Structure 1
Amino acid sequence: MTQFHAYQNRNPASRERYPYLLDIQSDLLGELRTTVVVPLCPADLAENMRLSHLNPSLEIDGRRYVAMTQELAGIERKRLGKTVHDLGSYREQIIASIDFLMSGI
């Protein structure tokens, strides 16, 4: 598992709303059984609840997704689907959204 990679959401109950899960946990903690993820929601489903600092817009295969940072969660690594995209180019926006969630700044 790699930090800032998006993985397929294998959970049938939430997969339609959140097709991808963004792993935000440091690679230094790769030996842990769990990781912390941010659900990614298609932009057309998330527009009415989007705050720019909290919910950065990311692109996967030409489609826009919104990082639902306020819904971050811990998940067992084995529950993640296959990796679909490296979102490391959005590192600053992702970290800023986590910081905004925690500090309000």
Structure 2
Amino acid sequence: MQFDVYRNTGKAEIYPLVLDVQSDIIGRRKTRMAIPLFPHENYKGPRAERLTPILVIEGQKYVMMTHEMASLPEKALREDVENISGQAVVIKSALDFLFDGI
């Protein structure tokens, strides 16, 4: 579901979590648009705050790597961690910035 966070079961261990950002109104598909989440404590260098906001999942801070969004097979999103729809404004703002520069 949109704004559900899942454990990353893929090979990119650098991103322990991924965020499903695809609208649920689209219906069931075999893929979902997801954004990798990077542990804030490991993030080095400058950060574009609008593009890569900090999200809190299970009490831990993660950087939303919006510019690395990708389509993932729905079957890869099986270990649900938390729904963060309460942070939807920040998430949508990052997506707006990515696509429209606003």
TM-score when normalising by structure 2: 0.93
Q: Choose from 51, 64, 70 the match for 1:67.
A: 64
Work out the percentage of aligned pairs sharing the same amino acid.
36
CA contact (8 A) 1:36 1:75 kept: yes
CA pair 38-61 structure 1, distance change in 2 beyond 3 A: same
1:51 & 1:8 partners in 2: Cα distance? 24
Are 1:14 and 2:12 matched, yes or no? yes
> What SS is found at the alignment partner of 1:50?
coil
Q: After the TM superposition, list the runs of 4 or more consecutive aligned residues in structure 1 that deviate by more than 2 angstroms.
A: none
CA contact (8 A) 1:6 1:87 kept: yes
1:39 & 1:30 partners in 2: Cα distance? 22
**Aligned runs of 1:1-105 on 2, under 5 Å?**
2-11=1-10, 13-15=11-13, 17-105=14-102
CA contact (8 A) 1:9 1:81 kept: no
- Stretches of structure 1 lacking an aligned partner (at least 5 in a row): none
User: Residue 72 of structure 1 aligns to which amino acid in structure 2?
Assistant: M
User: Residue 21 of structure 1 aligns to which amino acid in structure 2?
Assistant: V
TM-score when normalising by structure 1: 0.91
Supply the RMSD in Å over aligned alpha carbons. 1.2
1:78 & 1:27 partners in 2: Cα distance? 16
- Stretches of structure 2 lacking an aligned partner (at least 5 in a row): none
Q: CA deviation at 1:60?
A: 1.4
> What SS is found at the alignment partner of 2:67?
helix
Q: CA deviation at 1:29?
A: 2.1
